[in-house]
Amino acid sequence: MQISIWPSSERPWGEVRDDVVRADSLGWDGVWLADHFMPNAPVDDSAGRRGPYLEAWSCLGALAALTSNVRLGSLVSSVTYRHPAVLAAIACTVDEISTRPHGSGRVVLGIGAGWQENEHEAYGLTLGSLRERSDRLAEAATVLRSLLSDERTTFAGRFFQLDDAPNEPRPTGRPIPLLIAGKGELRTIPTAARLGDEWNAWASPETFAHKYRVLCDAAEAAGRDIRSMRCSTQAFVVFGDRPEVVESITSMGRPVVSGSDAQILDVLATYRSAGVDEFIVPDWLWDDATERAEHYHHFYEVTRPLHVEGGP
């Protein structure tokens, strides 16, 4: 199982840069950034958590030039933000920046249907109903699949239209993997099974195991071998006995892995058995830079028995 980090985009660029460079040199497998334009908080939030918020693809481009080994991905880019042709061009350019000598690029293009209401309202972006979001995601995935693989793309849909559209520069060395995120069993997971190279969802081991079975069935229905897909998940990590922190995370509906080193390792082994190829650690709980560096190192050492070396 590969191990990756998810730095907070609410930190200054210098801290994100230093954390990612450290993770790259230490041996972590991937770096993921959320693609949003503002925190998910009310405009009048008394805590003041309204910004700043680093733009994901600008950061990924810079990190591509500063690192040598880690995969670099968006987790995820809502298809409501940018036309697929714009997103494909951005991803391919960052991929070229990330290319190692005599090797391939390191970018993973992660997309989702969109969910954060406050930013759609603030910037006049159309979110739409759940059905519209699912339809738009399926169209965008179809367009991106073609733009990332074919020399020209023609598509006539409800949301997107392209006529003999090129996408240059071409991905370097291998097609850019398309990750589709979400847990919806009726639309999102089948879309991922048909069009995605990777699938991601926030989930406990039990939830992931169930959703993975749904993905397997959808892949079989689409005529795909599930072994051709990568699957990833993320959960907060809390070292030691801190029930108040665990409770605050679970109350927000997010999974958390906690306890002693042995207990954390056991839970990760359960994730791996459930079908997880890559476990992603959001570092948002580790506000102090020194503490964060220590946690990066400690978690990497704890997970060595499960860790599998491997690039994109």
User: Mean per-residue pLDDT for 168-195?
Assistant: 94
* Mean pLDDT estimate for the chain: 94
CATH of 2-302, one of 3.50.50.60, 1.10.287.3510, 2.40.50.140, 3.20.20.30: 3.20.20.30
User: Mean per-residue pLDDT for 89-109?
Assistant: 93
What ranges do the domains of the chain cover? 2-302
Per-residue pLDDT reduced to its tens digit, 39-95: 987 655 555 455 689 999 999 999 999 999 999 999 999 999 999 999 999 999 999
Per-residue pLDDT reduced to its tens digit, 115-163: 999 999 999 999 999 999 999 999 999 999 999 999 999 999 999 999 9
| Cα 156 → chain centroid | 28
The letter for the amino acid at 238 is: V
What is the token pair recorded at 130? 């759940």
pLDDT band with cut points at 50, 70 and 90 for residue 310: very low
Distance CA(170)–CA(187), nearest Å, equals 30
Give the start-end residues of each E strand in 34-131. Answer: 71-74, 77-78, 107-112
User: Mean per-residue pLDDT for 1-15?
Assistant: 96
pLDDT value, residue 170 = 82
Percent of the chain with pLDDT over 90: 89
pLDDT band with cut points at 50, 70 and 90 for residue 307: confident
Per-residue pLDDT reduced to its tens digit, 25-35: 999 999 999 99
Distance CA(59)–CA(52), nearest Å, equals 14
How far are the Cα atoms of 47, 190, 274 from residue 196, in angstroms, in the given order?
Answer: 38, 10, 19
Distance CA(202)–CA(270), nearest Å, equals 15
* Listed range (182-196, 277-291, 296-310) with the worst mean pLDDT: 296-310
The letter for the amino acid at 246 is: V
Neighbours of 155 (CB within 10 A): 16
Q: Pick the more confident residue, 70 or 311.
A: 70
pLDDT band with cut points at 50, 70 and 90 for residue 216: very high
